[in-house]
Amino acid sequence: MKRPFVVFAGLVLLLVVGIGVFQLTRPPVLHGTLIEPAKPIPDFSLQSRDGPVSLSTFRGRVVVLYFGYTSCPDVCPTTLAHLRWALNELGEQSRQVQVLFVAVDWQKDTPERVASYLSAFHPDFVGLSGSKEQIDAVTKAFGIFYQINPPDENGYYTVDHTATTLVLDEEGRLMLTWPYGLTAQEMLDDLQVVLRNSAGR
């Protein structure tokens, strides 16, 4: 009677080991959309409160790039709040990540205004703005849509814009996109995967 039990126990052990190996070797699941191969992106330079800033300045770090505007009523502040939480949860690893906010409202969003807006979210977020020609060139390079709508009788206007967040690897290549609606936890999960993969290279 012992032999069948030993065989059964051995089969169970093999099954458990097999599941463990599968868990270790299968690629991690990302909540965003992985770009394979990563897409090279041309460098650009826009204005921050402290002067001109180029994308290449942040080579060696994972860059989280978001296009929005400071008067955005919902999508932008929600995304930035999620990113703030994710970076805070990363702790020391957050030094390997840089959030860039490109303001598409070239009529109103000066470098000073953008910096003041971002300071309410995280001290390390960098805000960039520019002329219409500069913003048009950068949004075109990244496939970002934006449209400044006509103002109402009080002069208030909204800006329609792509709400996708872009993640660039340490070499400045587009590697991951996040649709609007991801939770802060999902952003954190993906950043942890990206940073682990970077450390393993």
How many structural domains is the chain composed of? 1
Query: Is residue 73 in some structural domain?
Result: yes
Query: Is residue 23 in some structural domain?
Result: no
Domain that holds residue 163: 29-200
CATH of the domain at 123: 3.40.30.10
The pTM of the full predicted model, rounded to 2 decimals, is 0.85
Triad 154, 157, 160: Cα angle to 5°: 165
Q: Which of 17-31, 49-63, 166-180 has the least mean pLDDT?
A: 17-31
- The more confidently predicted of residues 120 and 6 is 120
Distance between CA atoms of 165 and 178, rounded to whole angstroms?
Answer: 5
Q: Please say if the pLDDT value at position 8 is more than 70.
A: no
Please state the rounded mean pLDDT for residues 4-11: 49
Query: Is residue 12 in some structural domain?
Result: no
Q: Please say if the pLDDT value at position 24 is more than 90.
A: no
Query: Is residue 5 in some structural domain?
Result: no
pLDDT per position as a tens digit, 90-132: 999 999 999 999 999 999 999 999 999 999 999 999 999 999 9
- pLDDT score recorded for residue 23: 41
What are the Cα distances from residue 169, in Å, to 41, 77, 152? 11, 24, 41
